[in-house]
Structure 1
Amino acid sequence: MSGPHLRDFKRIVFFTGAGMSAESGVPTYRGAGGIWKEYDYRRYACQEAFVRDPAAVWEFHNYRRGLVAACSPNRGHHIVARAGQRSARVTVVTQNIDGLHALAGSREILELHGNLWRVRCDTCRVKQQDGHVIREQLRCDGCGGWWRPDIVWFGDMLSEPILDAAQAAIEECDLFVSIGTSAVSPRG
């Protein structure tokens, strides 16, 4: 007798973390070889650092973009995407900012920590996709404010609409699959 198959479920949530993309070569954050073991987030990944020196913060994030741009979705990303192409409703709730789920073909993606390939201007509230590996235009055309990566930095709050959508998807699902996350809080 075989166990359950994905096709046996109507609503599936895949909850993914850094371990999902590590197989693709995306550096993790806190684990062995994690990016925050080498770089001080207080200089590169918080609003205070951005206010103090936006050009230095962008230099770091352009470096990260280069690392991620060299990576491709792995087999796990493709399996998740294929599950969403079948009859089940599949939602990906991810902590990852790398965009690999979308590249693999997943359609319903809730990015808890934002997306490295999107920028926002906090002055005029504009957001836009940005596929440039090296972001050279650092100021908004509309208002002249600084573009910043549309990701959650240390000290930032998560987006309430994204959290609400993630909670609703999780409450409605009949299968929840956690991949590549310890589900441990940074303090725990």
Structure 2
Amino acid sequence: MDEALHKAAGLVRRAGCVLALTGAGVSVASGIPDFRSPGGLWERHDPMRVATAEALARHPERVWAFLLDALAVAGRARPNPAHTALARLEAAGRLSGIVTQNIDGLHQAAGSRNVVEFHGSLARYSCMGCGLAHDPTAALALTAGDIPWRCRDCGGVVRPDIVFFGEAIPLDALGKSGQLALAADCIVVAGTSGEVAPANLLPREIKARGGVVVEINLMESAYKGLSDVRIAAPAEIALPALADFVLS
């Protein structure tokens, strides 16, 4: 790992503008398994029944049963060294921002400021009927007898600000991520397989413009052949080590 770390640190140091793209692997050490991995939520819930726009409209109680499960996991999670390493790099002026596919809010909890939540967040809720914003802390207190969560004003179903299957990526997230990618000449990809579009296109866009791709993934990903260097280690080990090298 040392040789790859030295090479990666050199690429990051020489870059004029560095962007990070993160996925589920960054939060595993915080106790949030990848939904698709053994022990993940898709073992207990069929995503086509609980995580689509259609299911939310037709069977909100079923969707909210899944959300309670997700909230129980996310509510216990705290930032791990991978999150804090990226916050350190940003604070030192070596990282322009983070585009994350995660919905757990752990980058912000670790101190990162410029975070684009590509798939939304479990920290924001609003009524599907009247649009009223609801207190996110109330979601953590919900029980099976409270679901689906109903709006106190109009009785409509309250939903989290996350992107369900069948929904479009918010234009704001698309715009901000595009601006960050356009300015970047280096992207650090961590904890994502590179299989989910359109976030997976960002490294390819930067590479096509002559930039470099630093990959941190324990297993091979869809970025094989694209990455200039791959650190084959968990994000919570590799990212702090990379930050130490870059900032030393």
Report the TM-score when normalising by structure 2: 0.67
**8 A Cα contact 1:62 1:134, kept in partner:** no
Structure 1 unpaired stretches of 5+: none
Helix, strand or coil for the counterpart of 1:177? strand
Aligned to 1:161: 172
State how many pairs are aligned. 186
- Contact 1:112 / 1:163 at 8 angstroms: preserved in 2? yes
Counterpart for residue 62 of structure 1:
68
Match of 1:110 in 2: 116
2:42 paired residue among 26, 29, 36: 36
Asked whether the equivalents of residues 116 and 150 of structure 1 are also in contact (C-alpha less than 8 Å), the reply is yes
Instruction: Give the structure with the larger helix fraction.
Output: 2
Partner residue in 2 for 1:145? 156
SS at match of 1:51: helix
Between 1:131-140 and 1:160-169, the stretch displaced more is 131-140
- RMSD over aligned CA atoms reads 2.4
Conserved 8 A contact 1:27-1:33 = yes
Question: 2:68 is matched by which residue type in structure 1?
Answer: N
Hey, what does 1:131 align to over in structure 2?
A: 137
> Does the CA-based 8 Å contact 1:47-1:153 persist in structure 2?
yes
Listed as ranges, the matches of 1:43-82 within 5 Å are 43-82=49-88
Indicate the structure (1 or 2) with the bigger Cα radius of gyration.
2
For 2:196 and 2:95, locate their aligned partners in 1 and report how far apart those are by CA, in whole Å: 28
Structure 2 unmatched ranges of 5 or more: 1-5, 198-221, 223-248
8 Å contact kept, 1:77–1:100? yes
Q: What CA deviation, in whole Å up to 9, does each residue of 1:5-28 have, x standing for no partner? A: 756555321100011111211021
Residue 127 of structure 2 contacts residue 134 of structure 2 at CA under 8 Å; is this kept in 1? no
SS at match of 1:14: strand
CA distance in 1, matches of 2:134, 2:180: 25
What residue in structure 1 maps to residue 27 of structure 2?
21
The Cα of 1:89 is off from its aligned counterpart by 5.2
